[in-house]
Amino acid sequence: MRRVAAIDCGTNTIKLLVADLDRETGTEHELVREMRMVRLGQDVDRTGRLADAALARVFAAIEEYGAVLDAHHVDVLRFCATSAARDAANAEVFVAGVRERLGVQPEVVTGAEEAQLSYDGATRSFGDRELPGPVAVVDIGGGSTELILGDPVTGHVAAARSLDVGSVRMTERLMPSDPPTAAELAAARGAVDDALDTLPGHGVHLDSTASLVGVGGTITTVAAAVLDLPHYDRTAIHHADLPVAAVHEVTERLLAMSVEQRRGLPFLHPGRADVIGAGALILDRVLSRVPVQRLLVSEADILDGIAWSVA
């Protein structure tokens, strides 16, 4: 048994997992799972740089996480940063700030590694449950979307691709109105479709999907909407089995709402209110290309993949 900590710093959120992992039995005992909405990717798409205010929010969250790590006497910590840190010209400021506060070098992982970690985290959580293969895992973040095809028996990833479409990026670039206009929605759908059109060239054939697993805050929030939860309930969402038709309906509803109306949804984190429409739109376009009628949702995600990578 080893006490492991994983931090995933994405475009919109920074998340922490502390867990006791047993490699021999494959069991995971979760001690802490926390998330902060920090919007590291604020304006990165426009400026190419991490904003000072965004860095301040991230560093404040990291200091809080540092206290949690100290209290739990963690054996090993792995800190991974994804899309926003990859894209920023001043990423070295971020790296130095993390190292100063936590004493660990953050890894700005490639899109391919991000995809592998997401797949490992998502599929491991199903344990002995039989998932027909190939399994496609979709992870929609703030700056990018990962799509991974793998074998559920061997855990081997056959193909993966990270696309530069995410909920924050699409909102800032193509959906600035509140609510978005018909023209903005058409442009965003076109941009997402253009990105998805590149997948076969990288071996990611969504039309071969037998099982689809969705992870990440966008998808778990959409799941909460489909389930019409009175509050965000991780237990109800984990391994939820959703009709694709219901996801399409929820997407249309979210896109028609103003940010203020979305903030009134009892299961929605306020920090997602302005970008959940774009995230749902990305999911909607992915679902239009898979030959399955159900979407499986996992609360286990890249964090779990990061943790097991150092277990």
Does 28 score more than 80 pLDDT?
yes
Least confident of 23-27, 32-36, 186-190: 23-27
CA dist 260 and 138 (Å) reads: 28
Going by pLDDT thresholds of 50, 70 and 90, the confidence category of residue 163 is very high
Average pLDDT over residues 155-160: 89
190-249 confidence digits (pLDDT tens): 999 999 999 999 999 999 999 999 999 999 999 999 999 999 999 999 999 999 999 999
Average pLDDT of 87-99? 91
* DSSP SS3 for 24: coil
- pLDDT band at residue 184, thresholds of 50, 70 and 90? very high
For residues 115 and 80, the model is more confident at 80
Q: Nearest-CA neighbor of 213 among 125, 297, 119? A: 297
The closest alpha carbon to 85, from 36, 37, 121, 51, belongs to: 51
CB atoms within 10 A of CB 186: 12
**Confidence class for position 16, pLDDT limits 50, 70, 90:** very high
Residue 88: which pLDDT band, with cuts at 50, 70 and 90? confident
Domains along the chain with CATH numbers: 2-109 (3.30.420.40), 126-302 (3.30.420.150)
pLDDT at 45: 81
Question: What are 122-151's pLDDT values in tens digits?
Answer: 998 887 788 999 999 999 988 889 999 999
pLDDT beyond 70 at 83: no
Note the pLDDT of residue 129: 80
Which pLDDT tens digit goes with each residue over 43-69? 888 899 999 999 999 999 999 999 999
pLDDT digit string (tens) for 102-126? 999 999 888 778 878 889 999 988 8
Is residue 106 within 8 Å of residue 95, measured between CB atoms? yes
Q: How far apart are CA 143 and CA 140, in angstroms?
A: 8
Instruction: Please tell me the predicted confidence (pLDDT) of residue 143.
Output: 87
Consecutive H or E run containing 65: helix 52-72
Among candidate residues 23, 121, 16, 13, the one with its CA nearest the CA of residue 74: 16
